[in-house]
Amino acid sequence: MSKVSLEINGKKISKEIPDHTTLSIFLRDILNLTGTHVGCDTSQCGACVVHVDGKSIKSCTALAADLDGSKITTIEGLTTNGKMHPMQEAFKKLHGLQCGFCTPGMVMSAIDLLKNKKNPSDTEIRDWLEGNICRCTGYQNIVAAVKEAASKM
Amino acid sequence: MKTFNYHSVKDVKEASKLSSSKSAFLAGGMTTIPSMKLGLANYKDIINIKGIKKLSGIKVSGKTVTIGSTTRHAEVANSKEIKKAIPSLSALAEGIGDPQVRNRGTIGGSIANNDPAADYPSACIALNAVIHTNNRKIDAEKFFRGMFETSLKSGEIIESIEFAIPQKSSYQKYPNPASRYAIVGVYVAKHKSGVNVAVTGAKSCVYNDKNLSDILSKNFSADAINNTKISASGMNSDIHASADYRANMVKVFAKKAVEAC
């Protein structure tokens, strides 16, 4: 067992957890933050993307103990006073989702892209979303949503 | 994933002392964690070495670029100093996996794992790298021993990788469309002493194609290897590409790399 202290969506949390607990399991099973999804569970599909100290990572392939002391933002941490993040708004407006399973990861990954590139091209968006897989194949609207969000952010 | 004892260490001695035949060092975990989940690997102890400060960072001198073993791919991809000294090396890092993998995965982890299709081993061979461990210095040519096999001994930790800055270089690969691992990747580097043509993804382990290297050392042009035959013997054959196809791709990507230099 390891004691892990993290700041999650602005809230400080300390827990005693088994050493092999991944961040995705910590978020979903221990904190009940089920907005972060687990698809492949081997860091290929990107449904579990969250931000750790401002950078996007795949939470299924990081040990919670390894991230002790980090600041984490999940999809649940994006709204302010009940208002959706511009990226969430854009996905809603432009139907950037079908079944919605990949969406939390897509949104978190896309926000990280806009931190580094304010107005990415279609190619840059597609390159960046390399690690996020949508099996409804709704990429067209996902790319459009990221561009829309870029114009609003 | 089966449970293990997690250790986070602050110096190399402590890490080495904790290691055993049933332990693994953890850096980015991009291969170690999925391998444990899939039951391909099980460890009693996981020793996190990312807290060892001296293992991370980039140093560029007149002739070499030295990268600490726990330096992440994204840091290499975005380093202004590396972009200036060896642009092909930062371009290689930019092409690994996806942004999230590049935010976690490390250069030391990549070469210690020695995946036959990994990108970094080819950079080590092409750029005459010296691998610095806690015990010794190992030339890249002697470091990569076979599929997932290196000359590292139990408890030995890679501290940094020192690359020679070439006159010209380029890494070109045919990436697997899903994983971005190299189906075939060719790293061509022209040094004062001669040319290296390091090939990854094609065989069970990265190698320097001596024949192509010799030809290009005499005449550094894509046309010089037009009529060179690459044998398919020992080439990988799988659902992505046959051995014959890979052999041809070695030449195609070697030419591309020379042209891009």
Distance (Å) of CA B210 to CA A93, B114, B214, B244, B255: 57, 20, 6, 19, 15
B18: contact with A, CB 8 A cutoff: no
Compare CB distances from A18 to B3, B30, B180 and report the shortest one's residue. B3
Nearest CA distance, B63 vs chain A (angstrom): 31
**Interfacial residues of A (vs B; Cβ cutoff 8 Å):** 2, 18-20, 22, 41-44, 46, 49, 55-58, 61-63, 65-66, 68, 109, 112-113, 128, 130-132
Enumerate the residues of chain B whose CB falls inside 8 A of the CB of residue A58. 100-101, 104
Q: Rounded CA gap, A4 and B166, in Å?
A: 45
Which residue in A123, A131, A88, A101 sits closest to A36, CA to CA? Answer: A101
Q: What is the pLDDT of residues B33-44, one digit of tens each?
A: 999 999 999 999
Q: How many residues does chain A have?
A: 153
At B2 the pLDDT is 93
Residue range A107-123, pLDDT digits in tens: 999 999 999 899 999 99
pLDDT at B178: 83
Does the B1-48 domain belong in CATH 3.30.43.10?
A: yes
Which residues of chain A, if any, have pLDDT below 70? none
- Residue A116, pLDDT score: 87
CATH superfamily ID and name for A86-152: [2Fe-2S]-binding domain (1.10.150.120)
Q: Which CATH class is domain A2-77?
A: alpha beta
| Confidence at B152, pLDDT banded by 50, 70, 90 | very high
Q: Which of A104, A54, A46 is nearest to B97 (CA)?
A: A46
What is residue A138's predicted lDDT score, i.e. its pLDDT?
84
Q: How close B19 comes to chain A (CA, Å)?
A: 17
Considering chain B, what is the average pLDDT of its residues? Answer: 97
Domain borders along chain A are 2-77, 86-152
Query: The tokens 């290897």 sit on which residue?
Result: B225
Establish if B3 touches chain A: CB-CB under 8 angstroms. Answer: yes
State phi, psi for B164 to the nearest 5 degrees: -80, 135
Query: What sections of chain B are H helices per DSSP?
Result: 12-18, 32-37, 73-78, 80-85, 87-94, 99-104, 107-113, 120-126, 140-143, 210-218, 243-260
Query: What is the per-residue DSSP string for B72-132?
Result: BHHHHHH-HHHHHH-HHHHHHHHTSS-HHHHHH-BHHHHHHHT-TT-SHHHHHHHTT-EEE
Give the pLDDT band (50/70/90) at residue B179.
confident
Domains A2-77 and A86-152 agree in fold = no
Residue B107 has pLDDT above 90, yes or no: yes
Q: What is the mean pLDDT of residues B99-104?
A: 97
- Side chain identity at residue B110, one-letter code: S
Q: Is 3.90.550.10 the CATH number for B168-260?
A: no
Give the pLDDT confidence score for residue A108 in this predicted structure: 98
- Shortest alpha-carbon distance between residue B98 and chain A (Å): 5
Interface test with B, best of A5, A63, A134 (most B CBs within 10 A): A63
- Report residue A126: phi and psi, to 5°: -65, -40
User: What are the sequence ranges of the domains in chain B?
Assistant: 1-48, 168-260
Smallest CA–CA separation between B99 and chain A, in Å?
A: 6
Does any CB of chain A come closer than 8 Å to the CB of residue B180? yes
At B9-60, the pLDDT tens digits run 999 999 999 999 999 999 999 999 999 999 999 999 999 999 999 999 999 9
